[in-house]
Amino acid sequence: MQAAGLFAAGVDPVEVAGRLRVSTKSAYQWKRRWRAGGETALVSAGPSGVSCRLSDRQLDRLRVELARGPAAHGWPDQRWTLARVTTLIGRLFHVRYTLRGTSYLLHRMGYSPQVPARRATERDDQKVAAWRAETWAKVRG
């Protein structure tokens, strides 16, 4: 909207670009749109990109199902992986997502990657030390 005011005042697009810290190409495009449709032509169309393929109702159901945990859906442990969430989305809604798309979707929903706070209780430090001394030493050469 600042650009529209500057164009109305007769300011050159190159100067508008400098004042608003945008490219001159953007300033010229804005001026062309401003001439064709006035200030309303410069109103933002919102964020670009692909819209979510799940409805709000489906997203709410996905939250509920994620809260139930992986074991409730047939996985043997309590870890949600991207592959598991992708499979769950496919089973529930018959919608195919890539792993990256699932990651974006979960991030948009407010989820973030988590790292365990402590080591697994099944961990055997003696076996780990033996593996490092024997197998890893051979691999490293």
pLDDT in tens, 60-91: 999 999 999 999 999 998 889 999 999 999 99
Which CA distances in Å does 121 have to 113, 118, 132? 21, 9, 20
pLDDT for res 51: 81
pLDDT in tens, 10-67: 999 999 999 999 999 999 999 999 999 988 888 887 777 778 899 999 999 999 999 9
The model's pTM: 0.55
CB 42 within 8 A of CB 32: no
CA distance 122 to 53: 40
pLDDT for res 118: 77
pLDDT for res 130: 93
